[in-house]
Amino acid sequence: MVESREIRDLVRAALEEDIGTGDVTTRLCVTEWSTAKGYFIAQQDLVVAGVELLPVIYGEFGGVSKLEVKRAGGDRARNGEPVAEVTGSTRTLLSCERVALNFLQRLCGVATLARRYVEAVSGTGCRILDTRKTTPGWRRLEKMAAAAGGVTNHRMGLYDAVLIKNNHIVAAGGIRAALAAARPSELPVEGEVRTWEEMEDALACGARRLLLDNLTPAEAAKWIRHIEGRAVVELSGGITLENVRAYAEAGADFVSCGAITHSAPSADLNFRVEIL
């Protein structure tokens, strides 16, 4: 996935944005024949993600002779532990430092938060889903990071699954009409229901997957008992680390949470060079 044109274009744009016509400080301060070893070091306990991008970053820029990944995506790194090491031109290491850290810090942050959600529902049988609430242009990377944290990826975009949401229901003239229109699709079909009546209509139409939105855990438990296994149930809306286990214990098969990608704080890593 990281070798895709989409990701390479993103890396190229990030390098161009930061380096532009050249890293003037490094050119002035560092001789062109200097070589160094650089260390990406966790400054907090975190879940690793994004290290797969390092070969792409240095491959685009050039000047690296060795890259060693110490922690793979999904691994834990403790405060002070190395995540990756890179050897090559000192100029390359310094010029690529911020771009590499920006990718790693953002993606490790998503993976670390994702793992907290997964651990919060451990033992319930409920799985955590991510959403499309991602940084524009970063969706594949942020979903990769969420998966590294143990989250199950939901649909990638509007093209790979049918998710009939509230506005679709309004536009179609009701949940029954929307489900009937979607029935010929060969893609997975899920319908969002916000009222008891919509839930009953959806079940009567043979809906096999329902998204229950903006319910309290107690309300969700009542609705799920009524569904009684006739449909797979996903819960969404107002899900936080503090309440996600209560929603999972309501009997949901899945709980989706946009905060994993739209509100994850960047993880703390730094980069240190050692001149060879």
Show Cβ contacts of residue 93 under 8 Å, excluding neighbours closer than 6 positions.
Answer: 36, 38, 64, 86, 271, 273
Q: Which of 133, 139, 176, 194 is catalytic?
A: 133
Tell me the pairing of strands 232-236 and 254-256: parallel
Is 222 a known active-site residue? no
Rounded CA-CA distance 272/276 in Å is 13
Comparing CA positions, the residue from 264, 208, 214 lying closest to residue 236 is: 214
Q: Which of 76, 127, 165, 222 is catalytic?
A: 165
Tell me the pairing of strands 82-89 and 127-129: unpaired
Rounded CA-CA distance 259/248 in Å is 16
Q: Which of 8, 12, 98, 132 is catalytic?
A: 98
Is 213 a known active-site residue? yes
Rounded CA-CA distance 142/129 in Å is 13
Is 75 a known active-site residue? no
Rounded CA-CA distance 3/52 in Å is 9
Tokens representing residue 232 in the block: 């797979």
Q: Which of 97, 192, 201, 234 is catalytic?
A: 192
With beta carbons less than 8 A apart as the criterion, state whether 86 and 54 touch. Answer: yes
With beta carbons less than 8 A apart as the criterion, state whether 116 and 245 touch. Answer: no
Rounded CA-CA distance 220/38 in Å is 51
CB atoms within 10 A of CB 34: 16
3-class DSSP state of 275: strand
Q: Which of 213, 219, 249, 268 is catalytic?
A: 213
Tokens representing residue 138 in the block: 């970063």
Catalytic residues: 98, 133, 165, 192, 213
